[in-house]
Structure 1
Amino acid sequence: MILDRFCLHILPKICDTIECLDLGSSSMKHILRTTHYPNLYTLGLYNIDEKSVRSLFTDEILSSDIFKNQITRLLITINKNDDYGMMLEIQSFNDCLHLLDGRFNQLHTLYVDLVNLRRPHEIQNQGDLPNLKCFSLSCVYATYYYNETILPLLYRMSNLEELDLYFSVEVDETFIDGNYLKKNIINRMTRLNQFTFYIPSIMSTRKEMNFPSTEDIQRTFIDFPANKIISYLDYFPEIKQSRCHIYSYPSFMPYYSDITNNFPGGLFQYVRVVSLYDEHPFEHEFFLRIVQSFPFMEKLSLKNNKSQNRKQSYESNNDNQNFSVIEYSFLSELVIIDAHDDYIEEFLFDTKTYLQNNIILQINYESLQRVTHNFTTNAARIHSTKISKLYLYGKTKCSNSCLQEYFPYAKICYPDIF
C-alpha cells in the first residue's frame, strides 16, 4: 500500500526533479513504469535477481529510448541467491554483456558486482563503448576465463579514465603481476588516469616450475602509475597450489580472499566478504588482526584443518594480557565447514568471541556436535541463541531435539539433501 501510494501520488508530482534513483528488485519495475523521468541520469539497482536483470533487456518500458539516451551512471549488484545449491547457475557475465550491447548508449559510469565470471554462452562482445569513462567490476568467485571475458570487454572501452577490478584469476603458467597489467591494460588505455585493483592469481604447483618470490613480483611494480602496490605469495604444498596477491592501496575492494598468516595487514574499510585459508594454524591474535583490518566485514569463511598451537596456554592463563574477546561488529554470516574444531570454539565460545544477533552459520554437523558435547555445553550457549539460520553439512537430516533446543531461534537446513 505504501509503495502504491508513493508511485501514484508522490512520484508523478516530483518526477521532473528526480536525477537519481536507487532501487531494489521488488520495487524496480513498479517505480520505473509509474511515470517518465526526463532528468534521470543515475540508476542504481541493488540486490536484484537474474529475472529482474533480464527484464531490463526485454521490457519495452524499461529498455526504452529514454533510458538508452539518458542514463549516464549505472550501478548494479546481482543477488547472491540464498539457495546455495543454485548459486553458481547464474550466468551473470552474460547479463553484464547484455547491458553493454548498446541499450545504454550514453552510459558514462558503470559499477557491476557479479556472482561469477563464467565464459559467456549466448552473447559475444560487440562494438566500442566510447562514452564509458568509469568502469568497476567485482566478483566474489575466481574465474578461469579472464582472457576470454575481462580483456575483450575492457578493449571495447577505448576512452576509459577510471578502472576498478576486484576478482581472483586461475592461471596456468605465470602470475598476474605489474608487467602483465602494463602490457595488457595500462598501455592499451591511453586515457586511463586511475587504476585500482585486487587481482589474486591462483596456480597449480603439481608440475615442476621456477616460481618467483614476493620480491620478484614487487619489482614488477617499480614504475607503476599508482600510489602504493602491495604483493605477496603463498605456497601450499598439501594442496599443491600457489597464490599471488596483488592490490593497490588504499583499497576500495569489496572482497579479500584466501588470507593466510602472511597477510601484511592494513585497513580495508570497503571489504565486506573475507575468506581465510592456510596450512598453518590461525592463532587467536590472528583473528584480532583480521577484525582490525576489516572492521565492516559482513561474511567470513574459514578453511584450516590445523589445530591452534597456543590454545592450551590461553586456557590455562585467563589473565594473559594478549588474550581478549574479539568483537565482530557487523558479521552476519559465518562459514566454517572445513575447519578444525579449535576454530569452531574460537567463534562459538563467548570467552573468545562476541557475535551480534541474527547470524547465518554454515558448519559441519559432526564438528558442531563434538565441540558442543552433543549440544549441551554452556560455553557456546549464548552464541547459539544468536543464530537465525543454521546450515548443517556432512549429516543426513536428523530429529535431534537437543539440536533445536540449543539453537532455539535458528531455521535449520541441510544443504546436502536435495
Structure 2
Amino acid sequence: MFNWQFSQSCSSSILKELHITVKYFHDCLYILDGCFNQLEKFFVNIDFIYNQSSTINDQEKLSNMKYFSLTCEDATLKYYELIVPLLHRMSNLESLALYLMVSNHFMDERFIDGNDLKENIINHLPRLKKFAFNIHSRTFFLNEIYLPSNADIRNTFTNFKDNQIVCSVDYSQREKVGQCHIYSLPYTILFYNNITNNFPGGLFKSVRQISLCDEDPFEHEFFIQIAEAFPYLKKLRLTNTQSQQHKHSQSSKDAKKKEYPIIKYSHLTELDLFLVHNDYIEQFLDLTKTNLSKNFKLSVEYKSLRLVTDNFTRETTRMNCSKINNIQFYDRISTIPEHFQMYFPRMKYRSLLSYFDINYSSR
C-alpha cells in the first residue's frame, strides 16, 4: 500500500507506466505532482476518495498522460469535486477507464448518465479514443413526477460511438433513493455490486464477487439467472428481508408444482447471508434447490441457521452444510448442541470452543 507521507522522496524521470493501489485519493494526487513527470500510463486502485487538506499541486496539466484507469469500490461523494477536475488536467488522454460508485449530496440530483459523461469528461478530452466505464450513481429523490427510466438513461448514450452500453435503474420507495448503473462492454472487472431484480443479464466471466440487494423478494428463477451470468463466482453477499413468494421443493409430491433446476455454484468460496429472510438461507442450503461447492465460508446468524436446519437435523440441508469449513455468526451465542459438529464435519478439526467462545449442550 502506497503512503505518500513516507514516500515523498519517491520519484522517477524515466518511468512511463505505473500500476498501483493506494489508500486515499490524496496519494494519487501526490504521485501525479511531478514525481513521475514522464508517466504516460497510470492504473490506480483507490480505497477511499474524499477531500484531504494538502499542499499538493492539483492544477498543473498532465500533458504526457495518455492512458488512465481509476478504480474505487467504496462510494464517493466527491466525483465532481475531485475526479472530474483531475481528468480535465489530462488533455492528451487517449484511453480512459473509470470504475466508480458515486453518491450525490442533494435531493433530486441527477444520475451520472451519457449526458453527464459527455458534458463533464468527453468534451474536455479531445484526443480520447477509448472510454471504458462502470459507474454506480445513487441519489435521493422527493419528486416522483419524473423519475428517469432505463430507456431514458439509455437514450443519453445515443451518440456514443463504438460502445455497447448497458443501463439499469432502480428506485427504493421506502428509502427515497434511486440508483443507476451504467457500464460499457466488454465487462472486465472482478466485481458486480448492488444487483437487484432488474438485473439486465449477460455473461460475466471476469466477475468473482457480487452483492445482491432489493426491497422485493428474490425468487428461485432469479438465482438461476445469477448462476448462469457469473459462472466463476467466488464471493456472494445477499441482503433481502422479504419472504419469497413462490417457494418450491423438488421433493414435493404435488405434481402440479413447477419443477426448477437445482442451481450449482461450482466455485463459490464465501457466502454472506447477514440481513436476510430465512427463506434465502434455505434457498442456498437446501440441496433440492442449490448445490454448493466444497470448503466454503458461511456468514449468517446462528438463530436463523438453527431454525432453517431444524436444530441441525434437517436432511435436505445436511449435504450443503457438510461442505462448510468456516462459519461466521453475526449474533452472540452461548451454547450449541453436541451434534453440531456432526452436521458440519469439515469443521471438526477446528476448535469450535475457542473459535466461537461457546459451550456445548445436549439440547
Alignment TM-score, normalising by the size of structure 2: 0.84
**Contact residue 96 and residue 132 of structure 2 kept, 8 A:** yes
Q: Distance in 1 between matches of 2:120 and 2:35?
A: 27
Aligned to 1:145: 78
Q: Give CA deviations for 1:79-113 in whole Å, capped at 9, x if unaligned.
A: xxxxxxxxxxxx43333333333333332222223
**Contact residue 258 and residue 276 of structure 1 kept, 8 A:** yes
Higher strand share: 2
Q: Which amino acid is 2:95 matched to?
A: E
Q: Distance in 2 between matches of 1:321 and 1:210?
A: 39
Residues 298 and 99 (structure 1 numbering): CA distance in 2 closer, same or farther, change over 3 Å? farther
> CA RMSD of the aligned region, Å?
2.8
User: Could you tell me which of 291, 299, 311 is aligned with 1:354?
Assistant: 291
User: Could you tell me which of 117, 121, 125 is aligned with 2:49?
Assistant: 117
User: Could you tell me which of 87, 95, 98 is aligned with 1:162?
Assistant: 95
Q: Percent identity?
A: 43
Q: Distance in 1 between matches of 2:57 and 2:275?
A: 39
Deviates more, 1:312-321 or 1:142-151: 312-321
Aligned to 2:127: 191
Aligned to 1:268: 204
Q: Distance in 2 between matches of 1:317 and 1:383?
A: 22
**Contact residue 177 and residue 217 of structure 1 kept, 8 A:** yes
What is the CA-CA distance between 1:248 and the residue it aligns to?
1.2
Q: Distance in 2 between matches of 1:113 and 1:318?
A: 53
Q: Give CA deviations for 1:280-311 in whole Å, capped at 9, x if unaligned.
A: 22111211111221222222111111222221
Residues 381 and 289 (structure 1 numbering): CA distance in 2 closer, same or farther, change over 3 Å? same
Residues 188 and 348 (structure 1 numbering): CA distance in 2 closer, same or farther, change over 3 Å? same
Residues 276 and 140 (structure 1 numbering): CA distance in 2 closer, same or farther, change over 3 Å? same
Residues 377 and 99 (structure 1 numbering): CA distance in 2 closer, same or farther, change over 3 Å? farther
Secondary structure of 1:199 counterpart: strand
Aligned to 2:68: 135
What is the CA-CA distance between 1:322 and the residue it aligns to?
5.1
Q: Distance in 2 between matches of 1:330 and 1:97?
A: 38
Deviates more, 1:384-393 or 1:197-206: 384-393
User: Aligned runs of 1:17-416 on 2, under 5 Å?
Assistant: 50=1, 53-54=2-3, 58=7, 63=10, 68-77=12-21, 91-122=23-54, 124=56, 126=58, 127-171=60-104, 172=106, 173-206=109-142, 210-312=146-248, 316=252, 323-393=260-330, 395-402=331-338, 403=340, 406-410=343-347
Residues 353 and 312 (structure 1 numbering): CA distance in 2 closer, same or farther, change over 3 Å? closer
Q: Distance in 2 between matches of 1:404 and 1:96?
A: 49
Ranges in structure 2 where 5+ consecutive residues have no aligned partner: 357-363
Q: Distance in 1 between matches of 2:259 and 2:95?
A: 43
Secondary structure of 2:153 counterpart: helix
Residues 386 and 155 (structure 1 numbering): CA distance in 2 closer, same or farther, change over 3 Å? farther
Q: Give CA deviations for 1:46-87 in whole Å, capped at 9, x if unaligned.
A: xxxx4xx22895396xx3x5xx23432222346xxxxxxxxx
Q: Give CA deviations for 1:114-170 in whole Å, capped at 9, x if unaligned.
A: 333333354656233222221222222222221223112222222211111112211
**Contact residue 273 and residue 297 of structure 1 kept, 8 A:** yes
Aligned residue-pair number: 345
Alignment TM-score, normalising by the size of structure 1: 0.74
Q: Distance in 2 between matches of 1:120 and 1:355?
A: 45
**Contact residue 197 and residue 253 of structure 1 kept, 8 A:** no
Residues 123 and 59 (structure 1 numbering): CA distance in 2 closer, same or farther, change over 3 Å? closer
Q: Distance in 2 between matches of 1:156 and 1:400?
A: 60
**Contact residue 57 and residue 98 of structure 1 kept, 8 A:** no
Q: Which amino acid is 1:217 matched to?
A: I
